[in-house]
A and B are shown apart, each in its own frame.
Chain A
Amino acid sequence: MSFLLTCPHCGSRPVGEFAYRGELTPVISDEMDHAALHRAIHLRRNVAGPQREWWMHRAGCQAWFVADRDTTTNVVSSTALASEAAPEATR
């Protein structure tokens, strides 16, 4: 794995500079029953294809941002700060 990511602040950088948080995860709420909580905490979609995910520029400006990446090709089609992405886009 050795692709490039475009940090919204710093530009195109090797992936090693970034921390990966993973795919967008559901909001955990009080209403969840045990099974729903289990799914939210432990299970991931693990998409083979395009997915939206969280990254952070660990060795740079420390910004968190969302990226659209194809997990089968590692082609990143877009990146955006959470505040600039559509509100529904971060979950």
Chain B
Amino acid sequence: MSGGRLNPRPAERIDRARPLTFRFDGREVPALEGDTITSALAAQGRLTISRSFKYHRRRGDITAAGNDGGGLVTVEGRPSVRAALEPVREGLDVRSQNAWPSLERDAMRIVDLVGGPFTPPGFYYKTFRRPRRLWPLYERVLRRASGLGRVPEPRDERTYRTEHRYVRCDVLVIGGGEAGLYAAIRAASGGADVVLVDDDVEPGGHLLVNGRHGDARRLTEEARAAGVQLLTGAAALGFFDGLVPVAQGSTLHMIRAAQYVAATGGIEQPFVFPGNDLPGIMTSSGARRLVELQAVALGSRAVVTTIGDHGFEAALALHAAGIPVAAISDLRTEANPDLVRQVAEAGIAYLPGTTIVRARGRGALSQVVAAPIDADGRASGSTRHVLDCDLLAMSGSIMPATSLLLQSGATGVFDTTSGRFLPGELPAGVHAAGIVAGHDGASVLSGSSAGDAVLTALGLEVDEARRADEARRLADRAPRVVAVPPAVAHDGRRGKAFVDLDEDVTAKDVAYAAAEGFDGIQLSKRYTTVTMGPSQGRTSHLGSIRALAAATGRDAAEIGMTTARPPWTPVELGVLAGRPHAPARRSTLDGRHRTAGGVETWVGDWRRPESYGDIAAEVLAVRQRIGAIDVSTLGKLLVRGPDADALLDAHYTRRMSDAPIGRLRYGLMTDDRGRIVDDGTVCRTGDGEYYVTTTSGGVAGVLRRLTWWREDLGLDVRITDLTATLGAITVAGPEARELLSGLADTDLELDGEVFPHLTARHGSVAGVPCLAMRVGFVGELAYELHLPSEHAVRVWDAVTAAGARPVGIEAQRTLRLEKLHPIVGQDTDAESTPASAGLGWAVKFEDDRPFVGSVALRHLDGQPLRERLVGFRCPGDGPSEGAVVVSGGRAVGRVTSSRPSPQLGECVGLAWVAPDAIEDGTPFEIRDGGRSLTATVARKAPYDPDGARAAA
């Protein structure tokens, strides 16, 4: 039985004096400070961490480095956390995934027992197609049976913060192994500004687990001293046009460098043989991590299987740590004699020319069979080494971790001698160092050379003699001799041999898919989902290529490789999202709205009072007496300059330059297609000077249009956005003139003869200088006071103290609907033209005044409309907004605005209807959810149709 701790290891991270307890599936598990979830469970002899994706087989953490999908757990409600990287804390609540009712007794295990031959790739699509009406039921069951983890319930408030940080530097080194550290030190010493990111808690990579942790710490110090900025626990996610996002805890660093060095190392690949997923089977580097970093007594009897000298190093290291190693099975027939002698001295049986052809065990590994194999991977001859063991350490091919390089634009090139893919030509500014470059065993030279290459590219000085010497030694180094394992090694009997443990894809599945015609790597990947699991092919990419090569009789070079998509390392969506960022714009009257009991709502970016508690009373206040509305959210632009006339005449559907000074005109803006983009009022305030208002959300778009045209036409106009500088208060109602007369200074004459409807005057109200504009949006005598926003409170207090009732936007919407005034963006959409929206009266074609959209509108002039915006009246509360207008059972339009009118006693609204049924009084049908309503077309405003009240 495995479990327990070894004697202290020199590089161990655990603190034996600080025990703690956490919970796994509700049961208490003892651990030590410095343990990961994986190591703490392994020290208790628990190697099963999850159930597999499809067959619900027991799975352990095979790489102990987060490079496989077997070690995913739910931690404190966060799904699919990598157990190998998650430190344990006192009381931490950890739950296994993909198992029901429990990890030990999983009901869905039945899929594995009866499945296999019955669940080939595409099984679900093929089997559950008919009858189609049952698909929703199938889907519900299948969705529950598959997938990893559960998305947590949404919460209103985030309990943690995430940040984005932007970094610019000369050099980004990705990977803090020996090669990365040497590259960073060389580049920083040569004067470059270097950032190094590493996903482990400390830099060092393999040095940390191969007995050279002292070197790792010395190099780390050297890098710091040279000025390298080190980010640990930081995973590079991808390569996007020269931007590398790096996730470090709750921070996402957006790093942009002039030069990149990928020193991402390699990933030891598992062997493919029947039973290769039993808990107790690990990569040798995974086993060494648990042994060296947490001193886990992983097994009582280990077997090592390898294709090269690195397996001997692993076997000797496990032996030295106190784990008995029974045998080493090497696919090669010859090995380094020195290493062969050393394993013999350690009492480890050496089995040259063999590989593992089967693993057995109930719930965990108990026995492996090693045998010589033929070219197809089948056990040959009569020799069978049946070895009892509870740990199998696999030292397979080292697959360079090329994903980031491939994302940057490099292609993978097959290397026949090592049977793996190496990065080919790299894009400008991208370098590779160490194992990822194929320089196994030459990290120092490779890293230093990359550092020199970076310095040269940056135009910094390098020691030319040293550079040439290192380049020569790197080129002349002796290649490592390795064997290439077969796609699958087996003894000819049944059993699942997994190519991809994440996705439960067997070698047989790949062959089956190839036989069905999915015989290219891209097709095979999509059909079988091989390499598409959580680890993105880290431990299955090479195996999938070999399996497809074997199934189609081609060689791996012909098959080629796929590019893993970002993120290369799993990352929480919350980290990608960054800090919750929902800025709210508030008017300077916001405090007054709160004290008056205003109910807030979002209107675009603004927070505005929807009402002050009684919408009907607010509507009636404006109609019968007087109300005050905060309209500070209106977009406000000051347009000045010699070409101001030309710019505005070219943008509004009617001429503005011939308006008398002080006159307001309704301005409608269209785009080149003749579609409505915004509206507002335009006031000519002087020669070559206009004060322009836009819709509340529209000012940025209008400003962008106006400034682009100014640049494109080369006009001499200044456009100043005063939206935040000025506040605006509408004082509306039959008593508006009387109320303002009591507050206005002598400079503001309010008499209707002097200050008629649709004009503007400067003057002071309550001592505050204003631009007062008489507008008719709510259909009553109304003054829109535009004034410095910091003094808006004074005017608001004065008018409300004088009897004006605060009125919210909900009442304002009702008031304008009683007048059938549309709101651009609410009642119009991207296809609305002035004619279709009933705003044709605002368009004036003039031969000497083309405007944006005039050519298109002339083309459309006289063409039949597809739909028409009309007012309607409807008994009762009326339809909801978005309800469908139907005719003859067919949808012909929709309701865009609808409000009950307190004084009309029925609903008023605006709707798009068929253009042949727009006569006043025409009834039409509205379907609103399950309801059917009859409304009648209203072509004239239900309230004050002649507009006498606004013009009073």
Contact = CB atoms under 8 A, between A and B. Distances in A.
Interface of A: 1-4, 14, 19, 21, 28-30, 32, 34, 37, 40-42, 54, 56, 62, 64, 74, 81-83, 90
Interface in B694-738: 703-704, 707-708, 711-712, 714
Given A34-B859, A83-B714, A64 B241 contact: no
Contact of B673 (A34, A41, A56): A41
B562 to A, nearest CB: 21
Contact of B856 (A2, A41, A54): A41
Interface centre among A3, A19, A28 (most CB of B within 10 A): A28
Interface majority SS (helix, strand, loop, mixed), chain A: mixed
A56 B708 contact: yes
Contacts of A54: 708
Nearest to B673: A41
B855 A62 contact: no
A22 to B, nearest CB: 11
A38 to B, nearest CB: 9
Contacts of B707: 56, 62, 64
B906 interface: no
B650 to A, nearest CB: 12
Nearest to B168: A12
B673 A64 contact: no
Given A2-B241, A3-B241, A82 B256 contact: no
Given A14-B243, A90-B712, 13 more contacts: A2-B242, A3-B242, A4-B256, A14-B256, A28-B856, A30-B855, A41-B673, A54-B708, A56-B704, A64-B707, A64-B711, A64-B712, A82-B714
Given A82-B711, A83-B711, A41 B672 contact: yes
Contacts of A28: 672, 855-856
B915 interface: no
Contacts of B166: 14
B855 A29 contact: yes
A42 B703 CA distance: 23
B240 interface: yes
Q: How large is the interface on B (under 10, 10 to 19, 20 to 34, 35 or more residues)?
A: 20 to 34
B174 to A, nearest CB: 16
A37 B859 contact: yes
B87 interface: no
Contacts of A3: 241-243
Minimum-distance CB pairs A-B, first 7: A2-B243, A82-B711, A2-B240, A64-B711, A3-B241, A2-B241, A74-B241
Given A3-B241, A14-B256, A37 B711 contact: no
A4 B242 CA distance: 9
A51 to B, nearest CB: 17
A19 B703 CA distance: 13
Contacts of B673: 41-42
B361 interface: no
19 contacts: A1-B240, A2-B240, A3-B241, A3-B242, A3-B243, A4-B242, A14-B256, A19-B704, A30-B850, A30-B855, A30-B858, A32-B855, A34-B859, A40-B672, A42-B673, A82-B712, A82-B714, A90-B711, A90-B712
A28 B709 CA distance: 13
B103 to A, nearest CB: 41
Given A34-B859, A41-B856, A64 B256 contact: no
Interface in B236-253: 240-243
Interface string B578-599: 0000000000000000000000
Nearest to B240: A2
B698 to A, nearest CB: 15
Contacts of B712: 64, 82, 90
Contacts of B711: 64, 81-83, 90
Nearest to A54: B708
Contacts of A83: 711, 714
A28 to B, nearest CB: 5
B716 to A, nearest CB: 11
A21 B243 CA distance: 23
Nearest to B852: A28
Contacts, number: 53
A21 B855 CA distance: 21
A68 B500 CA distance: 45
Contacts of A19: 704
A90 B914 CA distance: 42
B708 A21 contact: yes
Interface string B49-89: 00000000000000000000000000000000000000000
Contacts of A90: 711-712
Interface centre among B240, B242, B712 (most CB of A within 10 A): B712
B715 to A, nearest CB: 11
Contacts of B858: 30
Contacts of B856: 28, 37, 41
B719 to A, nearest CB: 10
Interface string B253-267: 010100000000000
A57 to B, nearest CB: 11
A64 B719 CA distance: 14
Nearest to A42: B673
A1 B240 CA distance: 6
Contacts of A37: 855-856, 859
Contacts of B708: 21, 54, 56, 64
B265 to A, nearest CB: 25
Contacts of A21: 708
Nearest to B708: A64
Interface string B850-882: 100001101100000000000000000000000
Contacts of A74: 241
Contacts of B859: 34, 37
Nearest to A85: B711
A64 B708 CA distance: 6
Nearest to B847: A30
A5 B673 CA distance: 30
A24 B909 CA distance: 41
Nearest to A32: B855
Contacts of B703: 62
Contacts of A81: 711
Interface in B741-777: none
A12 B468 CA distance: 36
A64 B705 CA distance: 10
A29 B937 CA distance: 38
Contacts of A56: 704, 707-708
Nearest to A34: B859
Contacts of A30: 850, 855, 858
Nearest to A15: B241
A28 B859 CA distance: 12
Nearest to A40: B672
B321 to A, nearest CB: 45
A15 to B, nearest CB: 8
A83 B711 CA distance: 7
A70 B708 CA distance: 22
B936 to A, nearest CB: 37
A62 to B, nearest CB: 7
A29 B847 CA distance: 12
Nearest to B674: A41
Contacts of B850: 30
Contacts of B240: 1-2
A1 B241 contact: yes
Contacts of B241: 1-3, 74
A54 B254 CA distance: 26
A13 to B, nearest CB: 10
Interface centre among B672, B704, B711, B859 (most CB of A within 10 A): B711
A90 B242 CA distance: 29
A40 B855 CA distance: 11
Contacts of B714: 82-83
A82 B269 CA distance: 56
Nearest to B238: A2
A81 B707 CA distance: 12
A29 B240 CA distance: 41
B528 to A, nearest CB: 31
